[in-house]
Amino acid sequence: MNSIEKENRDNLQKWRDARPALSSNYKTYFTNIIEELLEPLFNKETVKTLTEEIVDTYYYDNAIISEHEVVDTINDIRVFSENEVELMGYDSAETFSETIKEISSRKQDPIQAHNWSVNGSNGEKWQKDLNQCQDTLYKAVYQKKEI
């Protein structure tokens, strides 16, 4: 593991630690992946509608046969993702580091944060604070590899 990969792993651990309501939940993961796949293609409302439709139509808890299959699926997605970033001419570890900086700069919606502290997350997706001051948000900078 190189220094960037170690830093990324450490920063993701800090990110998880700052969100104690996070827990392993394949339906939430499935929903998040579908949403992320649709974001470059559609506006936010369409993404929300399509994501809900796909999850409601195709997600079945009882379809998951084993945790091993889930881990294999997640790692396959990582392979496809890292390869695509590299094929586009970017350093995957560097762009991942930028993404972690960006998501780590976000604050949770204060109402949701309060509700979670009282009731727990109940599998609900973490919501950004839409009123967070823009100058406190980091915007990822992705630079192609020098050839």
Task: Inform me whether the pLDDT recorded for 89 exceeds 90.
Answer: yes
Q: 90-134, pLDDT tens digit by residue?
A: 999 999 999 999 998 999 999 998 988 888 777 677 789 999 999
Coil/strand/helix, residue 42: coil
Residues constituting the chain: 147
Closest CA to 96 of 17, 36, 8: 8
Closest CA to 51 of 34, 36, 65, 39: 34
pLDDT at 21: 65
pLDDT at 101: 92
How confident is the prediction for the chain on average, in pLDDT? 90
pLDDT at 133: 95
Task: Inform me whether the pLDDT recorded for 55 exceeds 80.
Answer: yes
pLDDT at 28: 86
pLDDT at 96: 93
Task: Write the burial class of residue 76 (CB in 10 Å: 0-12 exposed, 13-18 middle, 19+ buried).
Answer: exposed
Task: Inform me whether the pLDDT recorded for 24 exceeds 90.
Answer: no
pLDDT at 120: 77
pLDDT at 147: 73
Give this prediction's pTM: 0.80
Task: Give the residue-averaged pLDDT of 9-23.
Answer: 78
The C-alpha atoms of residue 116 and residue 23 are separated, in whole angstroms, by: 13
C-alpha pair distances (Å), 140 with each of 14, 38, 97, 100, 117? 18, 20, 9, 8, 29
Coil/strand/helix, residue 90: strand
At 40, list the tokens. Answer: 């470059």
Q: Where are the chain's structural domains? A: 3-136
The C-alpha atoms of residue 7 and residue 43 are separated, in whole angstroms, by: 33
Strands (E), the chain: none
Task: Inform me whether the pLDDT recorded for 47 exceeds 70.
Answer: yes
